[in-house]
Amino acid sequence: MFAVVGYAHPPGRVLAFLRYYPSRHGSRCRGGVRYSSVSIAESFGYLRERHPEYLFRHPCREMQAVPLERVGEHLLPERRLEEIAVCPGDEFERQVGELAELLSREVPLRCLGITGSGLVGLHRPSSDADLVVYGRGWFERLRRMLGECFTEGGELEPPSMEQWRRCYEKRLPGRELSFAEFLWHERRKLNRLSFRGRMVDLLLVRRAKERWRAEPCRQLGRRRIRAVVVEDGLSFDVPARYGVEHELVEEVVSYTHTYTGQAVRGEVIEACGMLEEVGGRVRLVVGTTREAVGEYIRVLRSAPPEA
């Protein structure tokens, strides 16, 4: 089972990362088949050894891309959420359905979906819920709603300190940011919440069609920079993009969810990642692996509040 990433795909393939594979030793079960989950780093080794046909050479790096003829089923987050809302199969799905009903007061249900383990039916009773929000306007509306709920009180609560700690340990295994730094960045994003004690992520998906471009690419090595953010319109996107003012770098790009929404226009950031020249433009890529060990974006100085 692969998770699709991005909006543009190479001819005849779908960019996606392996997330689960059949294994008699697996701890998750669906349809009588046991599955093991796999990290992004581990998935490359697994595919290289057993299914190299799923590997694809991008001009800058090796990627995972499923040939269209090998696609057996395409699971749609919005369709799965509709099914859960109508007929939940367990306590996890019941809570997800109740949350979807609450959120649908602000956003049409057709603009919401479920991804992650809940989409493929491999969730556990304690699993986090990953909800997709289709459309930037609806996503921002829910962020505003959460800001009001967290301030004024309501059924939707901010994550607890224990939940933040678990998130930190999962997202930053290399401890590139201190827990205090992580907490400061995350709390202001308003894209995570707690519902009935369950951690919930809100993920933006644009209604977009983009054309695949395999531009010439040259890796220039690891680099740490300080820059001013001048464009943040795609900060919650996949990948997240930050236009920056810097003597060399035009853009900081994050392929890991950890650094989506990390900075806003006018802020000074420090970022560490892989320097790349793509089509004559230089960018810094953060998240060359999902765990992004040694790579980060941190705000050094916040933007002044708008008048």
**CB of 125 within 8 A of CB of 198?**
no
**CB of 278 within 8 A of CB of 217?**
yes
Nearest-angstrom CA–CA distance, 295 and 284: 10
Question: 213, 237, 155, 104: which is closest to 252 by C-alpha?
Answer: 237
Residue ranges of the domains in the chain?
2-70, 77-205, 217-301
For the structural domain made of 217-301, what CATH number should be given?
2.40.50.140
Predicted structure pTM score: 0.90
Angle ∠(241,44,58) on CA atoms, nearest 5: 50
What is the bridge-based pairing of β-strands 296-301 and 62-67? unpaired
**pLDDT on residue 307:** 41
For the stretch 22-37, pLDDT in tens is 999 998 998 889 999 9
**CB of 1 within 8 A of CB of 73?**
no
Number of H helices, E strands in the chain: 7, 17
Q: Where are the alpha helices (DSSP H) in the chain?
A: 40-50, 77-86, 91-103, 117-120, 136-152, 161-171, 179-187
**CB of 113 within 8 A of CB of 131?**
yes
User: pLDDT band at 211, cuts 50/70/90?
Assistant: confident
Nearest-angstrom CA–CA distance, 114 and 174: 29
Question: What share of the chain has pLDDT > 90, as a percent?
Answer: 76
Q: Residue for token digits 């974006």?
A: 297
Mean pLDDT of 239-247: 95
Torsion of CA 131, 137, 141, 147, to 10 degrees: 90
Encode 7-42: b = buried (16+ Cβ within 10 Å), e = exposed: bebeeebbbbbbbbbeeeebebebeeeebebbebee
261 to 145, 189, 192: CA distances (angstroms) = 17, 6, 12
**pLDDT: which is higher, 193 or 154:** 193
Res. 239: pLDDT tops 80: yes
